[in-house]
Amino acid sequence: MKKLLLPFLLSLGLIASSTSLAEYNSHKLGQAAGGFTIINDIFEKLTKSECGYVINKSYSLNKTLNEIFLYLNNKDREEFITFLESEKFKNDLAENDSFISGTINAGKKDGLDVKTICGMLVTIASMSYQEAEKQWDYAKQHYSK
């Protein structure tokens, strides 16, 4: 029985120490939230573009922002609202529009068909989405406590 008790206590100690390491970190949470916001905006815009037929999932910038607010403390919520109203954020969203339309137009100029262009765009965006989602999930779990 004593042989089983020691590993059990060690396991509890490791679990307790790993959960106590999780603490609120607005900088790391903000970085992950920013990346997740931008990629969701790109996907929302892709679904409304010529490439929308390729995407079989619904994406919403507003739903993403609502989710992010759930994990921010009050002070950071105020700062985030200020950022969302800023010219920088509006410019970032406009750059997403330009990226999508610019890539489609450049591909057409190069003689590529729309299916090929959309395939490339969605593949690149999907890889970015997976990484941003992974970072956001990690940040929620480790930095929003």
- Which helix (H) or strand (E) segment holds residue 103: the answer is helix 87-109
Tokens of residue 88, six digits = 């920088």
How many residues appear in the chain? 145
Look up the pTM and report it. Answer: 0.81
CA distance 5 to 84: 53
Ranges of each domain in the chain: 24-143
Tokens at 8, concatenated:
């059990």
- Print pLDDT tens along the chain (145 aa): 444 444 444 444 444 444 445 799 999 999 999 999 999 999 999 999 999 999 999 999 999 999 999 999 999 999 999 999 999 999 999 999 999 999 999 999 999 999 999 999 999 999 999 999 999 999 999 999 7
